[in-house]
Amino acid sequence: MLDERLMKGKSSNNDPVKCNSHQFIKKARNFNLTKNDMNCKQANAVPISIIMESFSLFPSKQNRKSAFYFALDREERTPSLLVDYSNNTAFDFGTGKKYDVISIVQLIKRCSVAEALSFISLNNFSQTFSTPGWDVAADTNCIDAVTDVKHPALIDYLTRRKLNTEIGELVEIRYCNLGKTFFGVGFKNDSGGYEISNALKFKRCLGRKDITSICNAQSILRMFESWSDYLSFKVINNSSNHGDADYVVLNSVSMIQRFARNPMGYASVELFFDNDDAGDRATELLKQQFTMAQDQRFLYSDHKDLNEFLKSRK
């Protein structure tokens, strides 16, 4: 059975160890971009950081004025794409090319100007987003509450994804932004930030972007792109011992570059990434970096990811 192939062992009552909280990040902007009459001026008013975040791309280094990202059209070990928050432009030191919002979308999606404008107009960038580098440790209104997941909409969201049995791994987060209250399920990362998701398919990071490490002092490491894949793995193997390995959740495939630079002393690294281009690149990068890395996607090759595989099971 696939359950047995994914993992062998017995159940454990040991809870995983996660890192403590640090600071949160917040600075919000509202954009009332309509889906009609979108022009270049309107499109270029959207911060590049928001565009990057919509593609799950996050900075490797940042401050209040700028941030460094890894190049979007090649693999590299040192980030070379500088985003200037003030001018809302990006400059690639590797190629000498300068980008605005539209050309960044063109680069990522490999599309025309018209297609880039269509993408920007059709996506709901009127949502409020965090801007990297803004320290709000003193802003007590940033987060209203962090509680157990209780809201019926969130429980239904997790139930439809067949993750409700792992509800204890998540928290319910309520936070304010520009006078409005938002809520979602939160998954904590190593820097004290939270990956936020809800039934409206709204995803963002509240706080500093980072990976989530679950350390059990084992010689096997299992890596996942998202918290939903990690929890799906646990559900599929509900009778297995989850203390027989260490776990890393990237919380974005873009974080693979940061992790790939860190030394690892594992005898085996099992990769459970998505069956898409980004998953292919991440898998190949780690296989080149570490000879002990093993691609496990053959176990769910007919599905986009582990959660899609889980939902397909009767």
Residue among 124, 105, 101, 144 nearest 204 (CA):
124
Q: CB of 202 within 8 A of CB of 33?
A: no
Q: What is the pLDDT of residue 212?
A: 93
Host H or E run for residue 138: none
DSSP lists the bridge partners of residue 200 as none
Q: How do residues 185-195 score in pLDDT, each as one tens digit?
A: 999 998 888 88
List per-residue pLDDT tens for the chain, 314 residues long. Answer: 445 445 443 333 444 444 332 322 222 233 333 334 467 888 888 888 888 877 767 787 877 788 899 888 888 878 899 999 889 999 999 899 999 999 999 999 889 998 888 888 776 553 334 433 333 332 333 678 889 999 999 999 999 999 999 999 999 998 776 567 778 899 999 888 888 888 776 677 777 788 899 988 888 999 999 999 999 999 998 755 677 899 999 988 877 766 655 556 788 999 999 998 888 888 988 888 888 899 999 999 999 999 999 999 87
Q: How do residues 111-161 score in pLDDT, each as one tens digit?
A: 999 888 888 877 655 333 443 333 333 233 367 888 999 999 999 999 999
Looking from the CA of 289 toward its CB, the CA atoms found within 13 Å total 22
Joined together, the tokens standing for residue 9 give 């062992």
d(CA 284, CA 206): 30
